[in-house]
Chain A
Amino acid sequence: ILNVEQSPQSLHVQEGDSTNFTCSFPSSNFYALHWYRWETAKSPEALFVMTLNGDEKKKGRISATLNTKEGYSYLYIKGSQPEDSATYLCANTPLVFGKGTRLSVIA
């Protein structure tokens, strides 16, 4: 099982700011990279599943990029809102998660 590292561990931003976090993973034997959003008292929900080098996916104000050759993925949130406050998790195969980035958006 290959470990996934996420940074930063936590992040506080003002409402309206754009932000991004990093997920690093071993580039060998890569299969897929997952991003999830985990709100307190709820179950994690999938944001993106990415497989191809150079992949870029978008869902509303949230987007993600993937570089399988160097082993990293970025998650971007444009114009952060208080409802974006959550822990953002990335995972490689077979769904081994990083420790997450806890985002707090201050109104």
Chain B
Amino acid sequence: SQTIHQWPATLVQPVGSPLSLECTVEGTSNPNLYWYRQAAGRGLQLLFYSVGIGQISSEVPQNLSASRPQDRQFILSSKKLLLSDSGFYLCAWTGGAMNTEAFFGQGTRLTVV
């Protein structure tokens, strides 16, 4: 069966520090991968999605970046965190077709102080 792992679960980072959140999927190949953020009092905002290795689409211009070094690995990064980067980050995957349901990781609560 397919599983998705996302870590860490919580993170407190100072302003200006780097960020690396990792998401891996098991039990499937060539998934579509997604990074979302929920800021306080807001909905689920799509940050990046990827349909294959090295293929990243960015939906929101900001100081975050994403990479997909392996088929089932999706990494969210920042070189210098801002206070506004605080929020709840979710990774998700779907099958290759866009009409398949998404499965979400457990999320990372990031607090930038």
Q: Give Cα distance in the complex from A31 to B32, angstroms.
A: 15
Task: List which A67-107 residues lie within 8 A (CB) of chain B.
Answer: 89, 91, 93-100
Chain B interface helix/strand/loop/mixed: strand
Contacts of B81 in A (CB 8 A): none
| A: interface residue count bin | 20 to 34
CA gap between A50 and B111 in the complex, in Å? 36
CB distance from A62 to the nearest CB of B (A): 15
A32 touches B46 (CB 8 A): no
Describe A's contact surface by its main secondary structure.
Answer: loop
Of all chain A residues, the one with the shortest Cβ separation from B92 is A95
Which chain A residues lie closer than 8 Å to B44 at the CB level?
38, 44, 89, 97, 100
Known: A34-B102, A49-B101. A99 touches B42 (CB 8 A): yes
- Residues of A whose CB lies within 8 Å of any CB of B are 1, 31-32, 34, 36, 38, 43-46, 49, 51, 89, 91, 93-100
